[in-house]
């Protein structure tokens, strides 16, 4: 899920739950049943035990990770060494000690993050194969969400979906998720951004990719993917956010797209950004813009960032437009007395089911809410909820998005959401 600055499936091999067990034939000592001419007796043989079948993920994914990883240990993401002045961290005894201590702290344990990341990888792998033109957007969203809930073994605010599934099309860059009754269908010429999140104990893994079924826009996807990779490579402890944005911009602007004989530059979307992530808070306060700026804020050890880039063939700037689906309770919202009984009831439901995690209207209905629009808008008007309408470039343009979540460990940088697809 992205941060707007002007307003505050993967080829993962199946994993065996248990090692494959096989027992060779074992001869059993015992009295011979009969005596041959050579004095040899027949001996009974134990029957082979049947091989224990490997537990594999289904398609669509339905098997919870606790069954695939019964030891409770989940795969690391891609590890990258820090650069330049921070290169010493890889072998520093002090930093390695700090990392061991972090691993033992249940509040910051990397294992929760890795569990969420493995869910994302497996669901993403299936989604990439599953999504095809002609499908309803609401069916795509629910397939991704059902897989996420099953694999993370959803349990209230303990673990579940990190934020609504973004399925933004074409000039819509972010924050579109189908509302109840939506009949929109994915078309052959559409460029689709797939952005979804998973959380375990509030540790959110945020990752996104773009699908296009028309090769015309392949260079746009390549540009944005390369810009995300640049952001990941250049990110690190003590890196200034304004400088990091400059590296991202330089990469993206080195690409162009030819559409109907006209060559269009790929522009970074200047008022969208990546962001830090806090427990149960998708936008943690620091922004990684996509255009070079004077922000001297530094990335710090132990922080957790979504490196998220957007490119466009349009003006390179988005505005809010269209029916809203995304909402979130404001973390530091003031206490406001509510006059509407329906608003009080809805807020209680939001606190119980989502806390400060983003949600959408479909999730409210799934939680049993109905006739909630008046109350929902009242909570927005009172400054208790923030609404996040779709973010759109100029109609007729195309936008793309790629995103990974990185963890700035004391010794090395971990791209926790990395998978075989990207």
Binding-site residues for a divalent metal cation sit at 195, 206, 275, 308, 403
Annotated binding site for substrate: which residue ranges? Answer: 175, 283
- 166 and 175 in contact (C-beta within 8 Å)? yes
Q: Which two tokens stand for residue 301?
A: 């050890």
How far is it, in rounded angstroms, from Cα 373 to Cα 350? 13
- Catalytic residue check, 153: no
- Catalytic residue check, 283: yes
How far is it, in rounded angstroms, from Cα 358 to Cα 195? 13
322: left (phi over 0), alpha (psi -120 to 50) or beta: left
Catalytic residue among 10, 182, 403, 414: 403
Catalytic residue among 10, 118, 270, 308: 308
How far is it, in rounded angstroms, from Cα 361 to Cα 367? 10
Which residues lie closer than 8 Å to 132 by C-beta, 6 or more apart?
Answer: 186, 213
Q: Where are the alpha helices (DSSP H) in 169-290?
A: 218-234, 241-252
- Catalytic residue check, 335: no
- Catalytic residue check, 158: no
- Catalytic residue check, 218: no
- Catalytic residue check, 171: no
Residue 407: count other Cβ atoms within 10 Å of its Cβ. Answer: 25
Catalytic residue among 171, 275, 378, 404: 275
Give the CB-side neighbour count of residue 73, counting CA atoms within 13 A.
3
SS3 11: coil
Q: What one-character-per-residue DSSP string does 268-312 give? A: E-TTEEEEE-BTTBSS-S-EEESS-----PBP-TT-EEEEEEEEE
Catalytic residue among 283, 326, 378, 404: 283
Angle at 78 between CA 73 and CA 106, to 5 degrees: 40
SS3 129: helix
Q: Which two tokens stand for residue 69?
A: 């990883």
| Beta-bridge partners for 192 | 169, 211
H or E element, residue 142 = helix 137-152
Annotated binding site: which residue ranges? Answer: 175, 195, 206, 275, 283, 308, 403
Catalytic residue among 118, 182, 190, 206: 206
Residues recognised as catalytic: 195, 206, 275, 283, 308, 403
């Amino acid at each position: 899920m992205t941060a707007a600055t002007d307003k505050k499936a993967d080829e993962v091999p199946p994993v065996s739950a248990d090692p494959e067990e096989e027992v060779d034939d074992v001869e059993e000592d015992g009295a011979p049943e009969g005596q041959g001419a050579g004095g040899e007796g027949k001996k009974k043989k134990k029957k082979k035990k049947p091989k224990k079948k490997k537990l594999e993920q289904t398609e669509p994914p339905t098997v919870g990770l606790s069954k695939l990883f019964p030891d409770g240990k989940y795969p690391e993401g891609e590890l990258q060494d820090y650069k330049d002045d921070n290169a010493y961290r890889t072998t520093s005894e002090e930093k390695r000690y700090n990392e061991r201590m972090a691993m033992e702290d249940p509040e910051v344990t990397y294992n929760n993050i890795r569990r969420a990341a493995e869910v994302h990888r497996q669901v993403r792998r299936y989604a990439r194969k599953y999504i095809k033109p002609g499908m309803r957007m609401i069916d795509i969203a629910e397939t991704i969400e059902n897989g996420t809930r099953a694999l993370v073994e959803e349990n209230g605010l303990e673990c579940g979906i990190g934020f609504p599934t973004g399925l933004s099309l074409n000039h819509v860059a972010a924050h579109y998720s189908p509302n109840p009754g939506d009949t929109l269908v994915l078309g052959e010429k559409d460029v689709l951004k797939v952005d979804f999140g998973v959380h375990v104990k509030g540790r959110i893994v945020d990752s996104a990719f773009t699908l296009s079924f028309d090769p015309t826009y392949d260079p746009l996807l390549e540009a944005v993917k390369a810009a995300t990779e640049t952001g990941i490579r250049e990110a690190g402890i003590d890196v200034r956010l304004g400088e990091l944005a400059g590296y991202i911009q330089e990469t993206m602007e080195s690409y162009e797209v030819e559409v109907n004989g006209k060559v269009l530059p790929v522009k970074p979307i200047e008022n969208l950004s990546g962001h830090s992530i806090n427990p149960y808070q998708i936008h943690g306060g620091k922004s990684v813009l996509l255009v070079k700026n004077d922000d001297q804020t530094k990335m710090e050890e132990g922080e957790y960032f979504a490196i998220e880039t957007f490119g466009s063939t349009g003006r390179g700037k988005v505005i809010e437009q269209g029916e809203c689906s995304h909402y979130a309770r404001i973390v530091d919202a003031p206490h406001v007395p509510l006059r509407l009984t329906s608003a009080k009831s809805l807020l209680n439901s939001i606190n119980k089911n989502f806390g400060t995690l983003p949600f959408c209207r479909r999730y409210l209905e799934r939680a049993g809410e109905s006739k909630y629009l008046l109350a929902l808008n009242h909570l927005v008007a009172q400054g208790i909820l923030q609404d996040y309408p779709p973010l759109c470039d100029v109609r007729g343009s195309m936008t793309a998005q790629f995103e990974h979540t990185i963890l700035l460990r004391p010794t090395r940088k971990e791209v926790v959401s990395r998978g075989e697809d990207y």
